[in-house]
Amino acid sequence: MVFANTFTKNRHVSKFHPEEETTTTRKKHIKCPICPNEENFSFHDCLIKHLSTIHNLNIQQSVFYFRNLEEFTAWMSLDNKEGNYARHDRQKHASGEETILYNCNRSNSKGFVSSCSKRNMKTGGSIRINGTCPSRILVKITTDGQIQAKFFETCGPYR
């Protein structure tokens, strides 16, 4: 039997074959920047929990509220947050709300190395780490223009 997507297949299995267990595997693309054995996670929350329990690293979180986009951009320009964070994802919801995710520029979960010989590596090296930095900014923009920014401040020690 052919299914249109994984959700349809899992629904069929749970409805008609309840004795079989359905397991969905998530892509573990978030790497711990400290572990030598390369721990991988599916969610940032799991990385933060791992850093706090295994490495005793306290990730500080702050929530800021802004009345409009101008106040938020002014806050981002303080301490050069615009240069340290890159927009990773932006979602517009049917309700009119918007979610924007900014990740630390030092994160390098892909580990991409160019095989192109046209460009040489920078002589000073790269600021990227071999893993995902826990520091990021989650922004929620409501329909009336108010903004909530959840800021994960700690840009922890790396090897």
Q: What is the pLDDT of residue 65?
A: 96
pLDDT tier at 82, thresholds 50, 70, 90: low
Is residue 135 included in any domain, yes or no? yes
| Segments forming the whole domain that contains residue 133 | 59-112+128-152
Q: Please check whether residue 92 lies inside any domain of the structure.
A: yes
Q: Is residue 140 part of a domain?
A: yes
Say if 88 falls within a structural domain: yes
Q: For residue 80, what is the domain's CATH number?
A: 3.30.160
The backbone torsions φ and ψ at residue 2, rounded to the nearest 5 degrees and listed phi first, read: -105, 135
- In this prediction, residue 159 carries a pLDDT of 46
Torsion angle, alpha carbons of 78, 107, 42, 61, to 10: -30
| 19 occurs within a structural domain | no
pTM of the model: 0.69
Residue 24 scores a pLDDT above 80: no
Q: How many domains does the chain have?
A: 1
What's the rounded Cα separation, in Å, for the pair 22 and 25?
10
Interval 107-140: pLDDT, tens:
775 655 556 656 666 666 666 676 778 888 999 9
